[in-house]
Each structure stands twice: as structure tokens, then as C-alpha cells.
Amino acid sequence: MSKPRSLIAGNWKMNGLSADGWALADAIVQGARDLPAGRAELLVCPPATLIGLVAEAVTGSPVALGGQDCHADRSGAHTGDVSAAMLADLGCRYVIVGHSERRADHGESSATVRAKAEAAQAAGLSAIVCVGETWAEREAGKTEEVVTAQVAESLPAASTSGNLVVAYEPVWAIGSGRTATPEQVAEVHALIRRQLGSRMDDAGAVRILYGGSVKPANAVELLAVAHVDGALVGGSSLKAGDFLAIAAAAPAQAG
């Protein structure tokens, strides 16, 4: 089976006010026109406050929009939270769930992440479910155990390649400038692919993204690794030039 089309996703995290958000989204939309046609799908995930504004900036462009988190409920008494239906209403097609910063900062368990992913899928969004080990877990030889458990417990049963993306983000590689080696990435992505294969029919078409200090200088190498179908980019997604350079590094698709 041919590789799925790469997804290059920018997670802006808690960055940007209106003017910056508009300028960044606009620069990405303009620059996307110069990318090789059909090579990669571009996605921007601004903070919730900027989604409406960025939706305007990307309208009519091939750049997709996503949220960074959603609540598991559709609506109700959850002060400060945003539902998947609200994101869909603003034009989002994706939402990141289970990012390690949310697992750490908000104590989210894999069961919570799974409930959020189910809510996303029910609202018509694709859930980008993040998994990844800490450095202590890797040092203890527990990478496979941790990632396997996170995948088993965080993915909704009804997932398909149309409503699920998995992102492998080793916690120690996030924002650290310390990228996983292609060998480390290959090993975990193959593990995730095998695990998907044991639970879904179209596992080969599910995109598995790598995230953690992806930048233009290492994107070609990382995106060429087997079972790497794109990148989830933090810091480098805040500079349009860097984000576009990462997108340009996506390998050409066979079909």
C-alpha cells in the first residue's frame, strides 16, 4: 500500500494575539501556493481565541484548521472548556487530543483522551491522538510498554483512517531541540502501525505523525522514515517560512 498523503500540522500552543495570528495564517496561506501540488496537507491549530480569525484567513485555501483540545461533552456546565461541536462550527476539521502538555498540566488520563477523541469523531472531526514516552520511561526501557498502553487506551473503537490521526511525540523531544533519531522514530512508528493493524481494517491509511523539535534542518530525514506520514510541529510552526519549509520536505506520494 502506498504511503498516505503527509499531514503537516502546526500546533501553535498558547501563542499569538490577533495581529500575530492573522499574519501567521496569512503568510502560510500565501506560501502554500508555492508548494508542490498535492504533496502535503497543511493544518494549523491556533489557540481557541484565534480560531475564528484564522478560519477567515484560511477560507478558500487548502490550509485546514484544527483545535488543540476539546471537552468530551457536546455542551454543558464546563466553564472555560470548548466542545468538538464548537470547533466544527468554526470550520475546524481536526482537533489534537492527549498532547503530553495536557496529560501533564491537566492530569488527563488515556481514558479522558479517548472520551475526547470519541467526542471529536462524533462531531465530524478527525482526532489527532498524541502518545509518547518520557525520558525516564525511555531510559528504563519502557518505551514500547508506555506507547502500546497509550494507544490501546486512548483510541476510540470506531476509529478509521478518515477520523483518526496518531501523533508520536516523545515527551523529551518536545521543545527541547533534542529530536528522536530516525531509528528511534522508525521503531515506535512501526510498533504503532502494527497495533493499529490489530484493531482496524484500514490501518495502513491512518496517518502517524512524528512530533518533537521538527525543524527545516531535520524534516527531510524524519519525514522519509517508514510509517511517518507527517509531522506535528510546535515551535517551528510559529514561523511561516520554517513551517512551509517543513511542508516542502514531505516526500512525493506514489498515489
Count the helix, strand and coil residues of the chain and give each as a percent rounded to the nearest 5: 45, 15, 40
Shortest Cβ 249–ligand 13P spacing (Å): 14
Residue type, 217: A
Tell me if 210 sits within 8 A of 222, measured CB to CB: yes
Shortest Cβ 16–ligand 13P spacing (Å): 14
Q: HSE (CB half, 13 Å, CA atoms) of 240?
A: 17
Pair type for strands 64-67 and 164-168: unpaired
CA distance 99 to 168: 10
Q: Which residues bind ligand 13P (CB under 6 A)?
A: 11, 99, 169, 174-175, 211-214, 232-236
Whose Cβ is closer to ligand 13P: residue 163's or residue 213's?
213
H or E element in which residue 211 lies:
strand 207-211
CA distance 206 to 229: 9
Which among 137, 169, 189, 227 is annotated as catalytic? 169
Tell me if 233 sits within 8 A of 15, measured CB to CB: no
Closest CA to 80 of 90, 89, 70, 88: 70
Whose Cβ is closer to ligand 13P: residue 230's or residue 235's?
235
Whose Cβ is closer to ligand 13P: residue 115's or residue 180's?
180
Shortest Cβ 163–ligand 13P spacing (Å): 19
Whose Cβ is closer to ligand 13P: residue 216's or residue 251's?
216
Known catalytic residue: 71?
no
Known catalytic residue: 99?
yes
Catalytic site positions: 99, 169
